[in-house]
Structure 1
Amino acid sequence: MSAASRVWLFDLDNTLHDANPRVFPWINRAMTDYLMEHLALDEAEADALRMSYWQRYGATLLGMIRHHGTDPAHFLKATHDFPDLRSLLVFKRALPPLLRRLPGRKYLFSNGPQAYANAVLAHIGARRNFAAVFGIEALGLQPKPQPRAFSAVLRALKLPAQRCILVEDSLENLRMARALGMKTVWISSAPGKPACVDVKLGSILEIGRAAWLAR
């Protein structure tokens, strides 16, 4: 299989940038505030419900839709309306040229909303590296690792899973990708290399070491 025939699917948060220090705490706070306001909960109740829906459905949004009839567009906009997103981002400025040198077409495959994903890529200087961006709206509001999320991307690209390489920080998402027939790259400093992982990298800046997967 040639490099031109295989495509890369990149996760966003904690793969292309480090969301843990600032971005995720901001989003979690915004979601808790949203639940407090719209469900008339106190902070502890709202925070517990946010976590419960995330653990049960894979996304707080899905719990809000299922149990409260929340408008997804309103929820996503309200919880990702950063006053200064750029100041919260932690990323490697060397990443865009590394992605340019990586053989094969590249797409973003994120559980985050479309506008947020595009904004992050623009701020880190990597938007031009990606042929298209698939946010949660493009996935039919079904987050990874739900099979329907993967199916939505594969249908849009008109590709079989065997022609894709998923680059992720989440082992759960990589397990699903491998089960579907994708190649997998795990971005992690954790010990060990599970069977669902083809290549493990300590940093996204090592992505060149996975270039052989595109052959």
Structure 2
Amino acid sequence: MLTDIDTWVLDLDNTLYPPGSALAGQLTHGILSTIAEYYDTDVAGARQIQAELVAQYGTSLRGAMVTGTIDPHDFLSFERRIDYSVIAPDPTLATALTALPGRRYVYTNGSAYHAEQALGQLGLTACFDGIFDILAGELIPKPYAESLDAFLNLFGIEPTRAAMFDDLEVNLTLPRERGMATILVDGSGTPYEQLDRRHWRVRDLPAFLQLMVGD
């Protein structure tokens, strides 16, 4: 189905592990707690501020950097307190990823530290050739063109020979315009559904990857 693909680009959160996991809950709690402390507000106020920052700047971190003076490493320090053992190894996904021909990358709006910890717990570290995080993108997140261009340039990726997986449709719009095959991993519906010639919606990521290599 995607025999012309030699580069596989996968988001991390809610893509390589299921949405609604305890890890996602810890991330949300950590971000809100950091915002509440930095802006001197309660949880309700932090939720409102986060929504405004994400809407205007793409991520809470970038918004806090633009509107204030917080150090990005200070903002992300909550990750050091996360219990990553709440996600389990996924050998089926590891096997499916390893079977994909060519290169494989994680492209995340989170930090490399977070990605490394999560991949290690999932048993997926050896499946990937590199990680592109929010710091590598100079705090400019998906779905902005500056982030995508920096990612493509860093790893020398030809978009028309790449496939990108993400749990947010907004993050796939620009890659699709650039010629990438795009796969929305949203945890709903049938195991996989083709929406367009090079665009799919996927619930069962390992099954879809196995299909890509003809298993």
TM-score normalised according to structure 2 size: 0.87
Partner of 2:133: 135
Greater displacement, 150-159 / 182-191: 182-191
1:157 aligns with 2:158: no
Deviation string, structure 1 residues 148-179 (Cα, Å, up to 9, x no partner): 11111111112232221102222111111101
The answer on whether the counterparts of 1:6 and 1:163 sit within 8 Å (CA) in structure 2 is yes
What is the distance in 1 between the residues matched to 2:6 and 2:154?
15
- Mapping 1:1-215, distance limit 5 Å: 6-78=6-78, 80-87=79-86, 89=87, 92-188=90-186, 189-190=188-189, 194-195=195-196, 198-206=199-207, 207-211=209-213
Check 1:73–1:157 CA distance in 2 against 1; reply closer, same or farther (3 A cut): same
| Distance apart, 1:186 and its partner CA | 2.1
Identity of aligned residues (%): 24
What is the distance in 2 between the residues matched to 1:5 and 1:45?
45
| Matched residue SS, 2:164 | strand
What is the distance in 1 between the residues matched to 2:100 and 2:72?
35
Greater displacement, 110-119 / 23-32: 23-32
The answer on whether the counterparts of 2:5 and 2:163 sit within 8 Å (CA) in structure 1 is no
Q: Where has structure 1 moved over 3 Å in runs of 4 or more?
A: 2-5, 90-93, 190-197
The answer on whether the counterparts of 1:106 and 1:129 sit within 8 Å (CA) in structure 2 is yes
Greater displacement, 200-209 / 6-15: 200-209
What is the distance in 1 between the residues matched to 2:3 and 2:129?
16
The answer on whether the counterparts of 2:53 and 2:60 sit within 8 Å (CA) in structure 1 is yes
Deviation string, structure 1 residues 176-213 (Cα, Å, up to 9, x no partner): 1101111112223248754485233221111122347x
The total of aligned residue pairs comes to: 209
TM-score normalised according to structure 1 size: 0.87
What is the distance in 2 between the residues matched to 1:197 and 1:162?
10
| Distance apart, 1:31 and its partner CA | 1.7
What is the distance in 2 between the residues matched to 1:14 and 1:197?
21
Greater displacement, 128-137 / 20-29: 20-29
What is the distance in 2 between the residues matched to 1:196 and 1:111?
27
What is the distance in 2 between the residues matched to 1:84 and 1:59?
22
Q: What are the ranges of 5 or more consecutive residues in structure 2 without an aligned counterpart?
A: none
| Matched residue SS, 1:165 | strand
What is the distance in 1 between the residues matched to 2:74 and 2:94?
32
The residue identity in structure 2 corresponding to 1:81 is R
The answer on whether the counterparts of 1:11 and 1:110 sit within 8 Å (CA) in structure 2 is yes
| Distance apart, 1:37 and its partner CA | 1.7
